[in-house]
């Protein structure tokens, strides 16, 4: 057994104890059941399939006091209009659709990467376009927003990068997962632009494992949750997922074990995150995580596989700018949360495709390593 495998088994044994799940009253809908059947079936026979979710609804038992909706937009990656208008058009479309929600959204969460190169003009352009949305707006940073001036302009526009509020029986928390990257720039005397360029790489071998919550913010989170009933719902917004999905692309936070330790006493935790630009779902310990779409472009799934509970979206058509992207309309009603991916360019719901013969090397989606090594 390799060291990596041994470590993963130890982590899994500590976190995935028998009978522990995000919520004991988790309900599987028929649609989710079909999804799980499909992915397990595909893995068994070694074939490649894809699913086209237009409305991918995740139904989970919840305890909100009264029904309400909110919206999520993230990863708009704006350039200035003089450079690129395609991304401008997409955030504009998303903002108009959020404003047209009926019933309306109680608030909008912007989940980071509003800008592409962290320029003040890009951040200001995002603010201007989002004025279309009249509901209160809450922002968390992405790495693209931060590393040109280390968050100076972002802070001026949006204030503290971590925050909390209660709304109709739910405690909402926003966390900053991007500002605590290890200093890779000073010794190499990088300019702010060079530093930013490295953060703009998906495969950030120079920037390294930059995603993290940090001890001080974990202490703040612990205090923030201390007066909250452990059975009541907590929703945590982050740019990066709060578990280990694929570290080479910072599809994680490096201190996710500490995050889990803080959250472990709470039975009803949902982490909604951006950064991955794809349909993604996972459960770890008592927390479920839902990955959100970008408006800018979809990222591929990690080469080592996806969390076993993920129902993957089919590979996007690179010739269609509006394929595989969008935003999310989230409802909390009748003691459950529903996440509806508003995925532009999809005409059908849950259609199973044949192996994608247009690819010279068909993408094989399978459970990631961490999910393949059980039972524990």
In the complex, the residues that contact Fe ion under the rule CB under 5 A are: 75, 113, 142-143, 275
What are the Cα distances from residue 179, in Å, to 24, 51, 307, 347?
35, 35, 26, 39
Pick between residue 15 and residue 302 the one whose CB is nearest to Fe ion: 302
Least gap, CB of 299 to Fe ion (angstroms)? 8
Q: How far apart are CA 39 and CA 281, in angstroms?
A: 13
Pick between residue 240 and residue 268 the one whose CB is nearest to Fe ion: 240
Least gap, CB of 294 to Fe ion (angstroms)? 6
Q: How far apart are CA 253 and CA 132, in angstroms?
A: 32
Residues 337/25, Cβ–Cβ less than 8 Å: no
Least gap, CB of 243 to Fe ion (angstroms)? 16
**Phi, psi (5° rounding) for residue 257?**
-65, -40
Pick between residue 181 and residue 285 the one whose CB is nearest to Fe ion: 181
Strands (E), the chain: 60-61, 68-73, 108-110, 137-139, 163-167, 170-174, 234-238, 269-273, 280-284, 287-291, 325-333, 336-344
What are the Cα distances from residue 230, in Å, to 10, 268, 349?
26, 8, 36
- The stretches of the chain forming alpha helices (DSSP H) are 3-15, 30-45, 86-99, 120-130, 143-146, 152-158, 192-199, 215-225, 256-263, 369-372
Least gap, CB of 88 to Fe ion (angstroms)? 16
Tokens of residue 194, six digits? 């060079």
Pick between residue 113 and residue 338 the one whose CB is nearest to Fe ion: 113
Smallest CA-to-CA distance from 112 within 253, 257, 322 is with: 253
Pick between residue 108 and residue 170 the one whose CB is nearest to Fe ion: 108
Least gap, CB of 297 to Fe ion (angstroms)? 9
Least gap, CB of 199 to Fe ion (angstroms)? 8
Pick between residue 113 and residue 149 the one whose CB is nearest to Fe ion: 113
Pick between residue 296 and residue 314 the one whose CB is nearest to Fe ion: 296
Least gap, CB of 130 to Fe ion (angstroms)? 16
């Amino acid at each position: 057994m390799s060291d990596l495998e041994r470590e993963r088994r130890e982590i899994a044994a500590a976190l995935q104890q028998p009978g522990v799940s995000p919520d004991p009253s988790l309900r599987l809908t028929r649609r989710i059941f079909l999804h799980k059947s499909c992915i397990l079936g595909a893995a068994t026979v070694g074939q490649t399939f894809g699913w086209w979710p237009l409305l991918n609804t995740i139904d989970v038992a919840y305890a909100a006091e009264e029904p309400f909706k909110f919206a999520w937009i993230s990863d708009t990656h704006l350039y200035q209009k003089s450079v690129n208008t395609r991304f401008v058009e997409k955030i504009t479309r998303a903002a108009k659709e959020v404003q047209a929600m009926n019933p309306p959204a109680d608030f909008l969460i912007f989940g980071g990467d509003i800008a592409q190169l962290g320029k003040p003009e890009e951040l200001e352009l995002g603010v201007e376009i989002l004025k279309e949305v009249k509901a209160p707006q809450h922002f968390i940073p992405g790495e693209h927003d931060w590393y040109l001036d280390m968050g100076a302009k972002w802070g001026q526009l949006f204030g503290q990068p971590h925050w909390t509020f209660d709304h109709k029986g739910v405690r909402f928390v926003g966390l900053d997962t991007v500002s605590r990257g290890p200093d890779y720039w000073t010794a190499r005397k990088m300019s702010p632009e060079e530093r930013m360029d490295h953060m703009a790489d998906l495969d950030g071998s120079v920037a390294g494992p930059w995603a993290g919550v940090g001890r001080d913010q974990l202490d703040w989170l612990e205090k923030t949750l201390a007066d909250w009933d452990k059975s009541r719902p907590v929703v945590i917004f982050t740019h990066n997922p709060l578990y280990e999905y694929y570290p080479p692309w910072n599809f994680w936070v490096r201190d996710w074990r500490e995050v889990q330790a803080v959250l472990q006493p709470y039975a009803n935790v949902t982490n909604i995150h951006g950064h991955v630009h794809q349909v993604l779902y996972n459960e770890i310990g008592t927390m479920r995580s839902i990955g959100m779409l970008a408006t800018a472009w979809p990222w591929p799934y990690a080469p080592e596989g996806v969390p076993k509970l993920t129902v993957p979206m089919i590979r996007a058509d690179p010739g269609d700018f509006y394929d595989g992207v969008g935003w999310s309309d989230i409802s909390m009603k009748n003691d459950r949360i529903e996440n509806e991916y508003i995925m532009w360019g999809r005409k059908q719901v849950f259609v199973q495709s044949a192996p994608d013969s247009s690819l010279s090397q068909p993408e094989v989606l399978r459970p990631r390593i961490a999910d393949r090594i059980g039972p524990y």
